[in-house]
């Protein structure tokens, strides 16, 4: 992934690249590991959740390895540029994160359990970076698809902050925003299931070593 030496700063909507009216590529039809559709339609009863936790290559693998996850795809979310390209996102001029869309069966894996995986798989206190990966696209974020997801995400952030603070870590910088207001743009075919196609490829994902409270219940006062 690209490394940025300057201090990262999010662009305003006016400063962001304009993008394009349509993507310049076609997203593959099937997940290379799970075999299911990337873009849908998804089976009845499946739910969707969006996570940003650094380089999406390693982040996606964390989720596709989880029981109950039906499919995953990587993309760009949280910014302004329409149909952005990878190089544009890496420039810091689109405002997007590298995100993973997770389609899952809530009868097998719950959203709070996916939140636990999210928190434990990266360091949510680092701002515009994850480890050696520096840039606005590497910031931590949760893009929610329902009021219930939004409430669970906020409660989990509060609960995890308590255990992080007790372990000597700083404040969580994770943004929580509604997915409806933050379009998810699928990434180029080469980035989909990248670490399945390139098993020895780069993975910058790593957590704090601090366990998130099981069940991610609302933090006690």
DSSP notation for 117-129: HHHHTS-TTSSSE
3-class state of residue 74 by DSSP: strand
d(CA 17, CA 114): 32
CA distances from 106 to 45, 65, 90, 203 (A): 8, 16, 33, 28
DSSP states along 128-190: SEETTEESGGG-EEEEESSHHHHHHHHHHHHHHHHHHHHTT------EEEEGGGS--EEPPGG
- pLDDT, position 181: 84
- pLDDT, position 43: 97
pLDDT, averaged per 10 consecutive residues of the chain (221 residues), comes to: 64 96 96 97 97 97 98 98 97 97 98 98 96 95 98 97 97 97 95 96 91 62 38
Cα–Cα nearest to 75, from 40, 37, 103, 101:
101
- pLDDT, position 6: 64
Residue 25's CB is within 10 A of a number of other CB atoms, namely 13
- Residues forming the active site: 55
- pLDDT, position 2: 45
- pLDDT, position 23: 94
Residue with tokens 């603070």: 165
d(CA 98, CA 106): 24
- Asked if 205 contacts 4 with a C-beta cutoff of 8 angstroms, the reply is no
3-class state of residue 56 by DSSP: helix
Give the residues across from 74 on adjacent strands. 100
- pLDDT, position 221: 38
- pLDDT, position 204: 84
């Amino acid at each position: 992934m690209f490394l940025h030496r300057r201090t990262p700063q999010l662009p305003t909507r006016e400063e962001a690249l304009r993008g394009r009216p349509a993507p310049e590529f076609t997203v593959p039809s099937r997940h290379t590991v799970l075999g299911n559709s990337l873009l849908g339609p998804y089976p009845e009863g499946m739910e969707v959740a969006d996570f940003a936790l650094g380089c999406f290559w390693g982040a996606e693998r964390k989720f596709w390895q989880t029981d109950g996850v039906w499919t995953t795809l990587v993309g760009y979310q949280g910014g302004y540029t329409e149909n952005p390209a990878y190089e544009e996102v890496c420039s810091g001029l689109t405002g997007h994160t590298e995100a993973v869309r997770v389609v899952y069966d809530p009868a097998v894996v719950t959203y709070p359990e996916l939140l636990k995986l999210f928190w434990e798989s990266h360091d949510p206190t680092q701002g515009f970076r994850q480890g050696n990966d520096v840039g606005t696209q590497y910031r931590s974020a949760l893009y929610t698809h329902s009021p219930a997801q939004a409430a669970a995400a906020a409660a989990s952030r509060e609960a995890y902050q308590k255990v992080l603070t007790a372990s000597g870590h700083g404040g969580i910088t994770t943004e929580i925003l509604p997915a409806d207001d933050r379009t998810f743009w699928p990434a180029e075919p080469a980035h989909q299931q990248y670490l399945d196609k390139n098993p020895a490829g780069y993975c910058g994902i790593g957590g704090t070593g601090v366990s998130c409270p099981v069940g991610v219940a609302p933090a006690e006062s």
